């Protein structure tokens, strides 16, 4: 499974990239607002940090507007992935952009039928929003499983990008079901390494090592 970090905070991205944990980045208008920076400036900086796809989202709702904005965003760097909403206009733009060789991330997916349409439109990534589905009292993981089955049934190349991840359990379940990518907030990504038995074992090892009176370096 690939890990994309879901943030526009370049400090967080640099730190996680240095650990070798970042395969790409996803941003959206809310994350750009949180960063407090210009979308063009911060997206260019992010693209210079990571080699993988960096999703940058259009804000237009009509086809012509999406295509115009996508042209601007695509000029930022070669690894920009255009992020489009899962609407009929968005699917039309997806088909046009992927046919022209651009990476496209179709976002705000909440049903298997929507994911099927995105794959038929040639989407590079489909982003089902697990956490928001859970918030409504439905199991978001069921959607990941349904999409995985449909894509495998027909050999679609669209990658399942598990989004709106809230917990480390979401990451594990997405990996077990077979999502290709998880886009994860920095804090959740760091939390994947944590386990109380790891801390306890390390403490015991260090205590015993101290008793030997030895030094490696």
Helix (H) or strand (E) segment spanning residue 198? helix 196-212
CA trace torsion 94, 96, 100, 105 (10° rounding): 0
Decide if 83 is catalytic: yes
Distance CA 151, CA 116 (A): 8
Catalytic member of 34, 44, 83, 194: 83
Distance CA 198, CA 54 (A): 33
Torsions phi, psi for 80 (to 5 deg): -70, 135
Phi-psi region of 22 (alpha: psi -120 to 50; beta: other; left: phi over 0): beta
The catalytic site residues sit at 83
């Amino acid at each position: 499974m690939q890990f994309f970090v879901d943030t526009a905070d370049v400090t967080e991205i640099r730190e996680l990239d240095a650990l070798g944990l970042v395969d790409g980045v996803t941003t959206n208008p809310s994350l750009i607002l949180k960063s407090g920076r210009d979308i063009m400036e911060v997206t260019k900086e992010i693209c210079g940090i990571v080699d993988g796809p960096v999703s940058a989202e259009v804000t237009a709702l009509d086809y012509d507007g999406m295509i115009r904005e996508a042209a601007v965003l695509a000029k930022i760097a070669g690894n920009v992935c255009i992020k489009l909403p899962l609407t009929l206009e968005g699917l039309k733009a997806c088909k046009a952009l992927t046919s022209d060789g651009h990476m496209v991330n179709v976002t705000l997916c909440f049903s298997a039928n929507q994911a099927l349409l995105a794959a038929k439109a040639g989407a590079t990534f489909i982003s089902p929003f697990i956490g928001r589905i859970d918030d409504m009292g439905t199991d978001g993981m069921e959607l990941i499983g349904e999409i995985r089955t449909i894509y495998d049934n027909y050999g679609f190349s669209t990658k399942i990008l598990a989004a709106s991840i809230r917990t480390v359990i979401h990451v594990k379940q997405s990996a077990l079901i077979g999502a290709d990518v998880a886009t994860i907030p920095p804090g959740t990504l760091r939390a994947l390494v944590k386990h109380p038995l790891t801390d306890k074992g390390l403490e015991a090892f260090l205590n015993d090592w101290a008793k030997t009176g030895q030094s490696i370096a």
